[in-house]
Structure 1
Amino acid sequence: MPGRVDDPAAPSGGNTYDRRVCRKLPRLGWQVHEHAVAGDWPRPGAAARTELARILRESADGTLVLLDGLVACGVPDIIVPEAYRLRLAVLVHLPLGDETGLDPGTAAALDAKERRTLRAVAAVVATSDWAAGRLVDHHGLDPGRVHVAVPGADIAPLSTGTESGAGSAPHLLCVAAVIPRKGQHELVKALGGVADLPWSCSLVGGLRQAPGYVARLRELIEENGLGERVHLAGPRTGPELNSSYAAADLLVLASHAETYGMAVTEALARGVPVLATAVGGLPEALGHAPDGSVPGVLVPPEDMAALAAALRHWLREPGERHRSKAAARRRRIALAGWETTSRSLAKALEQLHQDPRRTT
């Protein structure tokens, strides 16, 4: 599975997904040979392009190859010629043109390349029902070739948060790469609007992808007088990330675009409620508890007033905090694991044995 090279400084949901299914598929009877292709995807240099082309060229006719969309969708000139010889499937974590911060020309070029790739391959795998529908509608794909394998979640110990401590201020947590698409600048401005209330906030996520944005975010934190209350924690994984969730009372995401939102289910897996923007697959990730209750609140994207109002309501109303926390704990026990994800993915790949090449 060609994909992004793991970078501890920039952990991502896409990398986590790829790693987990690579480990799970062999347990379902699949032989998996992983190929990591280093490069600046989706706009790789010559060496990365040559390596990807070599891997595909040296694969025997009829080999089933699952490619990460970040790798495959930007290089249709490499992928399309192999689509009639190999059984190709592309796993799309985020449509290339949906990344914020791209100039219109670059976004349009990436979008066109993605369309060529996805129309050529035998199967496309999306990470939510919303994302599957978006890919079908946006790229004119055959719905029968587009499959869904929703990310799993590992049930973890319940978060202790801060509410057990007398007089403790609620602790807010945002887990997302610090890039424009994740909207941390809007979150900071919204937090400035509730600075009269007690709280603290940690922004956990990679800081290297968009250094200019990170610099501006630091300025916003100071401009809003939040230097002692908002902490840019940088990337965290493993025990450090677990500790961040364990100390959280509320997960807050101000994203502009998400195909699913693994941070949402990671929080819910610990009984942490969620305040997020109603974009893409985030409502699907938030879902409902078995009794129909919603384990959090959704607000319109790019609406700082709505985000600030929701924060104020949650911070000021103990009843709302209790309700959302109880719903999150009920939602926690209904979350599907990575075994379910891998079975969904395996089902999609199994169809390629019956329909190995496109005929149109």
Structure 2
Amino acid sequence: MTVFAVLPGDIDDPGSPSGGNRYDREVCDRLAAVERPAPGAWPHPDAGDLARLDALLAGLPHGAAVLVDGLVASCAPAVLEAHAARLRLVVLVHMPFGDDDPAARPDEARALRAASAVIATSGWTRRRLIELYALSRLHVATPGVHQAPVAAGSGGAGALLCVAVIGRHKGHDVLVEALARVADRDWTCVCAGSMDRDPAFARGLVARIDALGLGDRISLVGPRPVEPLYAAADLLVHPSRGETYGMVAAEALARGVPVLATTAKGLPDAIGAAAPPGWLVPPGDADALAGALRRWFGDAALRDRLRAAALARRATLTGWDDTARAVEAVFRHTVAD
């Protein structure tokens, strides 16, 4: 079965890595999807962007199986409705825009109801879509991980890592404030992620790090290959204010690296039993994050338990082949219907 994939135009831009782009690339490669990039200012398209998307869908053969990234689909309901009877449209939702923006809900609801099926990338996303829109024909295909060697770490506790685009939604400001509260402990923190997504926030973050005298301990290194970073890390700190799944947490656990994260949205689903009760902290709470870090530095038995839990979670994580098979199964079911 041939699957056409309608994707944002920048999913392979090395300067703008994201979990959604990574997911799209891994799945499309495994499905040998015929990709149809949709350049535009998604999720805020102008009339020209919508007209080009309409022409793109009009050029696909009648009855074609079409995977549409939710970044494109959720803000183009009229276009999807115009082609819903002719194409087998399956929308891939990485995040529900209506979750944080009630004004986006009417358009997103129309777009998702126009689809033959909807795929959510996490159990949390599925639950939230049901709450928001009472959808049926809703499936889950969670992100996979690549097999990787168990990380050696530093042999201690102080090599901290944060992998995320630099932005307020990822909680870097909270991380910096928390690290300032444990400045008496021996640690360094590498923050790997693009600084171009929110330049004003990034500039303010650099200024705050300097003001706190932490410039020699917190390194903002930009986008980097992750393998050597995970291999050297003792703990991944992921203070996000909202994740529908948390691919970087799963990637750390796939290497046996413990994760300190927040209770935001789908993050607990990704971490699973690798987080003992009380270990995850509320999003936006620098004091709670600092308290957890202080426990990590001061309690060797806790560190051993978290490392053992990370290794146990590592054994349960599935690969990208499983993700692609789940997506393909949705199309086969949809075409059969």
Q: TM-score range by the shorter chain?
A: over 0.9
Q: Counterparts of 1:309-328 in structure 2 under 5 Å?
A: 309-328=291-310
Tell me which residue corresponds to 2:262.
277
The secondary structure found in structure 1 opposite 2:37 is coil
SS at match of 2:166: coil
Structure 2 alignment gaps of length 5 or more:
none
Of 241, 246, 249, 1:261 maps to: 246
* Secondary structure of the structure 2 residue equivalent to 1:112: helix
Superposed, 1:172-251 pairs within 5 Å as 172-236=160-224, 240-251=225-236
Q: Would the aligned equivalents of 1:169 and 1:200 in 2 still touch at CA under 8 Å?
A: no
The answer to whether the 8 Å contact 1:295/1:326 transfers is no
The answer to whether 1:300 aligns with 2:270 is no
User: Which of 135, 147, 153 pairs up with 2:129?
Assistant: 135
What is aligned with 1:80?
81
8 Å Cα contact 1:63/1:87 also seen in 2 = yes
Unaligned runs of 5+ residues in structure 1 are 27-31, 100-106, 356-360
1:23 is matched with: 29
Distance apart, 1:34 and its partner CA: 0.9
SS of residue paired to 2:36: coil
- Between the aligned partners of 1:76 and 1:295, the Cα distance in structure 2 is 42
Deviates more, 1:40-49 or 1:130-139: 40-49
- Which residue in 1 is equivalent to 2:97? 96
Q: Helix, strand or coil for the counterpart of 2:260?
A: strand
In the alignment, the residues of structure 2 paired with residue 224 and residue 277 of structure 1 have an alpha-carbon distance, to the nearest angstrom, of 24
Whole-angstrom CA distance in 2 between matches of 1:69 and 1:343: 19
Q: In structure 2, what is the equivalent of residue 2 of structure 1?
A: 6
Identity score, percent: 47
Tell me if the contact between 2:236 and 2:258 (Cα under 8 Å) persists in the aligned partners.
Answer: yes
Give the Å deviation of 1:294: 4.6
Q: Tell me the distance in 2 between the aligned counterparts of 1:36 and 1:67.
A: 10
Q: Tell me how many residue pairs correspond in the alignment.
A: 331
Secondary structure of the equivalent of 2:160?
strand
CA contact (8 A) 1:286 1:294 kept: no
CA offset digits 1:113-132 (Å, max 9, x no partner):
21111122111100111110
- TM-superposition CA deviations, 1:305-336 (whole Å, max 9, x none): 11110011001111111211122122212211
Letter in 2 for 1:147: H
Pairing partner for 1:12 from 13, 18, 30:
18
AA matched with 1:11? P
Relative distance call for 1:191 and 1:210 in structure 2 (3 A) is: same
SS at match of 2:38: coil
Following superposition, the deviation at residue 109 of structure 1 comes to 3.2
Write out aligned runs for 1:331-350 (5 A).
Answer: 331-350=313-332
- 8 Å contact kept, 2:121–2:245: yes
TM-superposition CA deviations, 1:166-190 (whole Å, max 9, x none): xx66111111111221111111111
Matches of 1:51 and 1:294 in 2, distance apart? 49
What is the letter of the counterpart of residue 143 of structure 2?
P
Displacement, 1:98?
4.5
TM-score by length of 2: 0.93
Check whether the contact 2:7–2:35 (CA below 8 A) recurs between aligned residues. Answer: no
Cα separation, 2, equivalents of 1:3 and 1:64? 14
Q: Evaluate the alpha carbon distance shift between residue 234 and residue 253 of structure 1 in structure 2; reply closer, same or farther with a 3 A threshold.
A: same
**Secondary structure of 2:91's aligned partner:** strand
Q: Does the 8 Å contact 1:128/1:149 carry over to 2? A: yes
Instruction: Report if the CA contact (8 A) 2:157-2:296 is conserved.
Output: no
Instruction: State the Cα distance separating 1:108 from its structure 2 match.
Output: 3.4
**C-alpha distance in structure 1 between counterparts of 2:19 and 2:48, whole Å:** 26
Q: Distance in 2 between matches of 1:302 and 1:156?
A: 31
Q: CA RMSD in A?
A: 1.8
Q: Report the secondary structure of 1:305's partner residue.
A: helix
Structure 2 distance, partners of 1:60, 1:203, is: 45
